[in-house]
Amino acid sequence: MLYLGIDGGGTGCRAAIADAHGRILGRGSGGPANINSDPQGATVSILAAATAAMVEAGARPRDLCAVLGLAGGGMAQTAAAMQARLPFAQSRVVNDAVTATRGALGRADGILLAVGTGSVLAVQRDGRLRQYGGRGFLMGDEGSGAVLGRTLLGLAMRAGDGFAPDTPLLAGIRDEFGGFEGIIAFGNRATPAEFATLAPRLTGSDDPAARLILDEAAVQLSSAIGVLQDGQRLPVVCTGGLGPVYEARLQGDWPVRPALGDGVDGALSLARDGAAP
């Protein structure tokens, strides 16, 4: 038996195949893999990533015990529907926070903050894992790339109305999108991943509006971590595309540590041991 680990989120999907000793035999990648917001597109991305890994490893679907950590995988019906589509000998679909936590913390106690297109928090204590947040762009995902992009556009319009201080960044956004109507039109059709493409405007900027948005997001996430600490000072690991941004801002609040591995490592670990995290 070989082991397939897949890590899929709102931006992309990565796969790896390993043998029983953990030696990587093949890798692959695909497009966005949020099984809640786009289950059909996620299926295409997952199979593309898995197929590339199988070609490199010389493996077949029936050879594989697979664990897939996917955005949206915490929803039972959605996960079951995806699992039914998969051709592997054994398949288990979990939320990407589960595999990210195993990869980042191993089996040690700690808190994971995973922030990319979306965001999620997880706490691991005494071998038990609990996930918080990760409820999607419309209902949560605080501090995520998608929410940062949406916040930037909203602030640009508020500043244009005179309800907030205007800055070069905000004025430039209004010009780029063709004013309020262009921003609204974009918001009506944009996916979370498209909103998230605006996040680098903030992370790479000294503009006062950029600093304000990021600082407010960091305070919100730090407060959530404080609740999850429950009086302790567990190590905090920040992962995802925006992980380094929040890592720098949280250093003074909590004991921030580097991740041991990534979501693919976590998925492979779960696939190999066959145990719940």
Question: Based on the domain organization, do 95 and 159 belong to the same domain?
Answer: no
Predicted pLDDT of residue 118? 87
Predicted pLDDT of residue 97? 83
Question: Based on the domain organization, do 130 and 173 belong to the same domain?
Answer: yes
Q: In what order do the strands lie in the sheet with 24-30?
A: 24-30, 13-18, 2-8, 64-70, 90-95
Domain count, the chain: 2
Predicted pLDDT of residue 76? 87
The span from the CA of 75 to the CA of 244, in Å, is 28
Predicted pLDDT of residue 277? 45
Q: Which are the contacts of 267, defined by CB distance < 8 A and separation ≥ 6?
A: 4, 5, 6, 7, 67, 68, 69, 99, 102, 103
Is 121 within 8 Å of 132 (Cβ atoms)?
A: yes
Predicted pLDDT of residue 275? 39
Q: Which are the contacts of 86, defined by CB distance < 8 A and separation ≥ 6?
A: 46, 66, 68, 93
Question: Based on the domain organization, do 158 and 195 belong to the same domain?
Answer: yes
Question: Based on the domain organization, do 265 and 252 belong to the same domain?
Answer: no
11 closest CA partner among 247, 184, 200: 200
Question: Based on the domain organization, do 70 and 95 belong to the same domain?
Answer: yes
Is 229 within 8 Å of 258 (Cβ atoms)?
A: no
Place of tokens 């909103």: 195
Range of the domain at 94: 2-105+261-273
Question: Based on the domain organization, do 113 and 74 belong to the same domain?
Answer: no
Alpha helices in the chain (DSSP H): 39-57, 76-85, 96-105, 145-160, 168-177, 179-189, 192-196, 200-203, 208-229, 243-250, 263-273
Is 69 within 8 Å of 8 (Cβ atoms)?
A: yes
Question: pLDDT tens digits for the chain (277 residues)?
Answer: 899 999 998 778 999 999 998 899 999 999 999 888 788 999 999 999 999 999 999 999 999 999 999 988 888 898 999 999 999 999 999 988 889 899 999 989 999 999 988 898 999 999 888 888 877 788 888 999 999 999 999 999 999 999 999 999 999 999 999 999 999 999 999 998 899 999 999 998 999 999 999 999 999 999 999 999 999 999 999 998 899 999 999 998 999 999 999 999 999 999 988 734 4
Predicted pLDDT of residue 276? 41
Q: For strand 128-133 and strand 119-125, is the pairing parallel, antiparallel, or unpaired?
A: antiparallel
Question: Based on the domain organization, do 88 and 149 belong to the same domain?
Answer: no
Question: Based on the domain organization, do 55 and 180 belong to the same domain?
Answer: no
The span from the CA of 57 to the CA of 99, in Å, is 22
Predicted pLDDT of residue 71? 83
Question: Based on the domain organization, do 122 and 233 belong to the same domain?
Answer: yes
Question: Based on the domain organization, do 91 and 153 belong to the same domain?
Answer: no
219-229 CB burial, b ≥16 within 10 A, e <16: eebbebbeebe
Q: Which two tokens stand for residue 256?
A: 């921030």
- pTM value? 0.78
Given 3-state DSSP classes, what are the helix, strand and coil percentages for the chain, each rounded to the nearest 5? 45, 20, 30
Rounded to whole angstroms, the maximal C-alpha distance in the chain is 63
Give the CATH number, domain containing residue 159. Answer: 3.30.420.40
Predicted pLDDT of residue 10? 76
Question: Based on the domain organization, do 165 and 41 belong to the same domain?
Answer: no
Place of tokens 């004025």: 171
Question: Based on the domain organization, do 121 and 254 belong to the same domain?
Answer: yes
Q: For strand 110-115 and strand 236-239, is the pairing parallel, antiparallel, or unpaired?
A: parallel
Torsion angle, alpha carbons of 172, 178, 179, 181, to 10? -150
